[in-house]
Every structure is written in C-alpha cells, then in structure tokens.
Amino acid sequence: MSENKRIQVDLLRGFAKSVLKNSGLSEKDSAIAADIIVTADMRGVSSHGMVALPGYVTQMQKGGIDPNSDIKVLAESPATTLVDGCAGMGQVVSYKSMALAIEKAKKSGACVVSVRNSNHLGACAYYSMMCAKENMLGIATSNAAVLMAPTGGAGQLIGNNPLSIAVPTGEGYPMVLDMAMSVVAAGKLFNAMKAGEQIPEGWSLDSMGRPTTNPADLYEGGTLLPVGGYKGYGLALMVEVLAGVLSGAALTVDIVYFRGEPEKPTNSGHMFIALDITKFMSIDSFKSRIGELIGRMQNAPKSPGVDRIFVPGEIESEAYNYCKEHGVALAEPVIKDLRALGEETGVRFPG
C-alpha cells in the first residue's frame, strides 16, 4: 500500500490552476476548475480530485475538451434554461450553469437549468453547495459513461449517474447528499488500481459477471454494482431521463468515457436546480427546522459500538476543515503522475 503525503491546499490549488491555464483555459475558468477539483479532495472524494487532472489535460490536448469554449443559452423562460456546454470543461460548464440557476431563482423562486454537450463534471456536491451558500436548496445531477448493468442484464449499459442535494443549515456546514448510483464511484477503483491495491468484494464484477477484488477488471469489460440492487438501477435510469433525455445530450452507451477516448467530447448531460427557500418560509425558520431535524438524527439512540451519528455532508465538512489546516493527502502514484503533468505543462509540483 502506498503512503500518502499532504500538500498545502493553496499550493495544490495554484498548481492545478497553472496546469489548466497552460493547457488553454482562461485565467478565470482555470481558477473555477481548480477550486472544484481540489475541493473534491478536501471533502474526501478523491475519486474526483487531483487524480483526474491528467485526464482532463489529455482531453484538452487531444480535442475532447475545448478550453476556449463558453456556454450557449439555447432556450429559456423565467424559471428554465437550456444550455449547450459547447464541449467545454465539465466543471466550468457546470459552475456557470448553476450560477445561472441561482441568478434566476432569486427572481422567480426556482430555476431548472438543463445542459447538453458537456464533459465530466467532477463531484456534483460542489454545484448543489453553491445554492446552499446562497441560502437556497440545490440539486445537481448528471448522466455518465456506462459502468453498470441493468438489473437482470449483463455488460456496461448505464452510468452510475450521480445526484447531489444540498441544504443550508445553521450548524456551520450544509447538509449534503452526494452519491453515485453504484456502490462506489468508478474513480475509487481507478485510485486503487493506480495504487496497486485490491478492492472489497461487492464493489464490482469482472467481464464474466463474477465478483472480483481486482479494480482493473472494471476496465476490461467488468461492471460496477448498483447500490441497493434494483433500486440503484432505477435511480440511475431516472437520472438518465433528467440529465440526458430532457437535455438532448448523449444517452447511455453513446456517452464517451473521457479516459478511454480523450479525443472526443463526452456529450454528457446535467441538470441543475436552485430553489429559493424564502418563497416558502423565512430562512431563519427553515434553519431552525433543519436544526431540529439534524438534532433528532444525531441524538438518536445508538447501536452497540457506535459513538456518533452523522447526517449527510457532516463527515465531508470535517474532512474539508481538516485539509484546510493540514493539507490534502495524495497517494504517491498520484503525486508521481502530477509531477509528470507539471513537467509536461511547465508547472512545478509543490511536493
């Protein structure tokens, strides 16, 4: 097992920003994308953090991501917007799309932004939390390259399509659900493969449909297992409707896997929803009620051996605060790749 090394957050964010800028993104877009990527690591979602940066740069170099593009509004109403991501970097497209949703929701009370022709957007929590910071309720979803089989089926036929919901609280952190519809994100298997580690049984099947502990099997025709069996499959399919069908983006097997074919835009679809809580009640009343709800969960009788009950987003918030002080932990294989990426793009890696 490889050892982790902690890198100061500002240094890591600066490195990512410089690499992205040297790869063609504007100063502003580089800062946006770098913050989203590093925030994923800080929240403990390393599958969507710095480990993915080399793949994004390769996409820019080979044409899958157009670093000079900007989003284009195709249709809109006071409470809806249809966006063409123009093959831009998924993090930048998503940030700008959610910002549109927030802006419109402040006027109309709610806004749904549907996005086509985007790329891999990283961790959905960042975008839903944009709303929580504005005292709004936020929802972010995306379809993704196929990694799972439908219940009763075989082979990769649907993505593990993520969903995030964020809610402002008065507890010092937002309550945030951020989940893919597979038992674990594919990036966790990618990390394990890079580190030469095995994975727990129950995460993945090999190409023959047999349980496996080898993460590389996923990339040789294997599949991820859906969370909750048929329930995870059903959720993934409905997210495909929201993010893919409604937006006009690619669907299931037509979505390009960004690490496998970096020369092609993934044409993934997203949906972002911002809801103005004050159209229903004062924000103070809402936070008071959320505090009561959180307290009921945290103060519930505990099972044997359990010291603490968490609500969604609480663990990630504590991880984020720890990383602010102590730095982001990166595995040596990831650091090795980032050093090589830095040499390639003319940026010194800070560790």
Strands 163-167 and 175-179: antiparallel
Interatomic CA distance for residues 239 and 252, integer angstroms: 11
Q: What is the pLDDT along the chain (351 residues), one digit of tens a residue?
A: 457 899 999 999 999 999 999 999 999 999 999 999 999 999 999 989 999 999 999 999 999 999 999 999 999 999 999 999 999 999 999 999 999 999 999 999 999 999 999 999 999 999 999 999 999 999 999 999 999 988 887 788 999 999 999 999 999 999 999 999 999 888 788 888 988 899 998 899 888 888 899 999 998 889 999 999 999 999 999 999 999 999 999 999 999 999 889 999 999 999 999 999 999 999 999 999 999 999 999 999 999 999 999 999 999 999 999 999 999 999 999 999 999 999 999 999 998
Q: What is the pLDDT of residue 31?
A: 98
Interatomic CA distance for residues 154 and 107, integer angstroms: 47
Helix (H), strand (E), coil (C) string for 6-47: EECHHHHHHHHHHHHHHCCCCHHHHHHHHHHHHHHHHCCCHH
CATH number corresponding to 4-182+226-282+325-345: 3.30.1370.60
- In 3D, which of 146, 143, 144, 142 has the Cα closest to residue 127? 142
How distant is the alpha carbon of residue 115 from its chain centre?
15
Q: What is the CA radius of gyration of the chain?
A: 20
Q: What is the pLDDT of residue 127?
A: 98
Sorted by where each begins, the domain ranges of the chain are 4-182+226-282+325-345
Q: What is the pLDDT of residue 190?
A: 84
Interatomic CA distance for residues 317 and 330, integer angstroms: 18
Q: Percentage of the chain surpassing pLDDT 90?
A: 86
Q: What is the pLDDT of residue 131?
A: 98
CA torsion angle 260 262 265 270 (round to 10): 60
Q: What is the pLDDT of residue 234?
A: 97
Q: What secondary structure letter does DSSP report for 279?
A: G
Interatomic CA distance for residues 153 and 234, integer angstroms: 13
Half-sphere exposure (Cβ direction) of 3: Cα atoms closer than 13 Å = 2
How distant is the alpha carbon of residue 57 from its chain centre?
17
Q: What is the pLDDT of residues 214-249, one digit of tens each?
A: 999 998 889 999 999 999 999 999 999 999 999 999
Whole-prediction pTM:
0.94
Q: What is the pLDDT of residue 2?
A: 57
Amino acid at 326: H
**53 to 76, 89, 240: CA distances (angstroms):** 33, 11, 25
Interatomic CA distance for residues 235 and 177, integer angstroms: 14
Q: What is the pLDDT of residue 1?
A: 46
